[in-house]
Amino acid sequence: MIRQANFQTISWFWDLHKRQLLDLDPPYQRRSVWNQEYKDYFIDTVLNGFPAPAIFPYQEITPEGLSRYSVVDGKQRLSTLFEFANNEFIVSEKATVAQFRGKYFKDLDPEVKTKFWSYQFSVEYLPSSDEKIINNIFDRINRNVAKLSPQELRHARFDGVFISEAESLTEWMAGVLPPNFPSIAQRSRKQMKDVELVAQLLLLIEEGPKSYSQDDLDKAFSDRDQSWDLKEETIDAFKNTIRFLAELLQVNTGDPNLARSRIKNQTDFYSLFGAIHELLQSQQMPELGDVAQRLQTFLQVVEESAKREQYNLAKAYHEAARSASNDAGPRRARIDIIKDVIAGKFSLKSTA
C-alpha cells in the first residue's frame, strides 16, 4: 500500500469541519471515550506546541468536485480541539502555562489563538476506498492502544448486520429497562461492554448458554456480518424477553425491590434473561406477580450466607455465580436454577 503524508494545521481541519466535509463518525470509529482529564492534557499539549500523534483520514472526492474526509484515527484529538474552539470548556487549572488557566478559547490573546490555529499535525492519507481495508487499518492502528477494548475493536472491524443490530438493541434496551440496569460502569459503557453483553444475549438465544472467549466473539460477529440467518426470530425473542423483564421489575415486591437486588449484576442478569427466554419460548411462564415474589424470596436467601447454606438451590446458584461464572457449565446451571425458582420449586419451607 502506497502511503502519502504531509502536515496540516488545526485551521485546515476546522475549515473542513465547518463546511461539513469532515466525518468524525464513520462506521469503524469507536464511541467517544476521552474524559475531561484527557481533554485537558491534550489542550495543554497543543498550547505548548508539543508534538501529537498523526491523524489518519481517508479522502473521497465527490462528483461535485469536493474533497470529503473520514477520520480513521484521530477523532478524539479533533473532537477535543473543536469543543475547545467552541468554548465548551476552559483550560485546566493544572495547565503548564499559568496565564492560560481557567480561560475559554475566546478569552485567549489573539497571538495565542493564531498559534493554536497554526498548530500542525502529521497527516497520513489512506489511499484505499475499500471499507474492509480501512477497517483493517483502523484495527491495526488501535490494537497498539491498550485503552481499546475488544468490543471497540470489533466496532472498528465490522459494520455489517450483527454488530449494527447489537448496537441498536443496546440503545433500545437502555430505554426500556430502569437506568443503568443491568449495572455497567460508565467507563465500561464507553468501552462498549454493554454492546458486548447484548451480543452475548443474542448468542444465548441462538445457541444456548456457552462460554465465549474474545476470539469466539470475533468469529460470531464475523459469521453474521454479511448475513444473519436467524436475525428476525432472534431479535423478536430478545425484545419479548426484555419487555417481560421490564414488567417484572415494576412489580412491587417490597424493599428492596428486584431492580435493586443482585439481579442487576451482569452475571445474574444473564441468568435471569436466559431463564425468562426459555420459559417464554416453552409457554411455561407463571403469573407475573408469582414470578416476582418467588425471585425476590430466592435472591434474598442467596445473599444471606447463613440462610443460603440451608437451601440446596440457593447454595448451588451462589457457587455457579462465583467461580468461572462465564463458562458454559455454570451459565447453564444458573439458568436452570432460576427456571426452577420461577416454576415454584423453591420454598422456605423446604431445603430444596
Rounded to whole angstroms, the Cα distance separating 204 from 237 reads 11
What rounded mean pLDDT belongs to the chain?
A: 89
Residue 258 predicted with pLDDT over 70: yes
Question: Binning pLDDT at 50, 70 and 90, where does residue 237 land?
Answer: very high
Radius of gyration of the chain (CA): 25
* Domain positions in the chain: 4-146, 156-342
pLDDT given for residue 187 in this prediction: 84
- What are the distances in angstroms from CA 152 to CA 39, 133, 143, 185, 190? 20, 17, 10, 16, 9
pLDDT surpasses 80 at 249: yes
Q: How confident is the model at residue 150 (pLDDT cuts 50, 70, 90)?
A: confident
Which residues are registered as beta bridge partners of 308? Answer: none
Cell, residue 308: 443460603
| pLDDT reported for residue 2 | 57
> Between 31 and 300, where is the model more confident?
300
Q: What is the mean pLDDT of residues 128-146?
A: 66
pLDDT exceeds 60 at position 191: yes
pLDDT of residue 138: 67
> Mean pLDDT across the stretch 64-93?
92
The secondary structure of the chain, three-state, reads CCCEEEEEEHHHHHHHHHCCCEECCCCCCCCCCCCHHHHHHHHHHHHCCCCCCCEEEEEEECCCCCEEEEEEECHHHHHHHHHHHCCCCCCCCCCCCHHHCCCCHHHCCHHHHHHHHHCEEEEEEECCCCHHHHHHHHHHHHCCCCCCCHHHHHHHHCCCHHHHHHHHHHHHHHHHCCCCCCCCCHHHHHCCHHHHHHHHHHHHHHHCCCCCCHHHHHHHHHHCCCCCCCHHHHHHHHHHHHHHHHHHHCCCCCCCCHHHCHHHCHHHHHHHHHHHHHHHHCCCCCCHHHHHHHHHHHHHHHHCHHHHCCCHHHHHHHHHHHCCCCCHHHHHHHHHHHHHHHCCCCCCCCCC
Percent of the chain with pLDDT over 90: 61
Question: Which of 89-103, 126-140, 219-233, 295-309 is the least confident region?
Answer: 126-140
